[in-house]
Amino acid sequence: MSKSFFENVLEQIDATAENMSLDSGIHKMLRQPERELTVAIPIEKDTGEIEVYTGYRVQHNSARGPCKGGIRYHPDTNLDEVKALATLMSLKCAVANVPFGGAKGGVTCTPSKLSKKELQKLTKRYAAMILPIIGPRSDIPAPDVNTNAETMGWIMDAISMYKGSTVLDIVTGKPLELGGSLGRREATGRGVMINTVELLKKLNKNPKETSIAVQGFGNVGSISAELLVEQGCTINAISDVSGGLYNPDGLDIPKITKYVNSKPQISLLKDYNRKKDDEIISNQDLLELDIDVLVPAALENQIHSDNADNIKAEIIVEGANGPVTKKGDEILSERRIYIIPDILANSGGVVVSYFEWVQGIQSFFWGVDEVNKNLKNILLKSFDEVWKISKEEKATLRDAAFLLAMGKIAKATELRGIFP
Q: Report the catalytic residues.
A: 104
Q: Are 332 and 309 in contact (CB under 8 A)?
A: no
Do 170 and 154 meet the contact criterion of CB atoms below 8 Å apart?
Answer: no
Strands (E), 144-268: 211-215, 234-240, 243-246
Of 272, 343, 276, 265, the C-alpha closest to 93 is 343
Residue of 392, 403, 335 whose CA lies nearest to 21: 403
Neighbours of 209 (CB within 10 A): 11
What letters, b where the CB count within 10 A reaches 16 and e where it falls short, cover 326-352? bbbbebbbeeebbbbbbbbbbbbbbbb
Rounded CA-CA distance 265/372 in Å is: 29
- Contact present, 294 and 272 (Cβ < 8 Å): no
Gyration radius from the chain CA atoms: 21
207: alpha, beta or left, given left = phi > 0 and alpha = psi -120 to 50?
alpha
Helices 79-96 & 368-393 angle (0-180, nearest 10): 90
End-to-end Cα, the chain, rounded Å: 40
Among 71, 112, 147, smallest CA distance to 265 is for 112
β-strand partners of 279: 246
> Under DSSP, is residue 385 helix (H, G, I), strand (E, B) or coil?
helix
Say whether 138 sits in a helix, a strand or coil: coil
3-class DSSP state for residue 186? helix
> Which positions ≥6 away from 273 have C-beta within 8 Å?
259
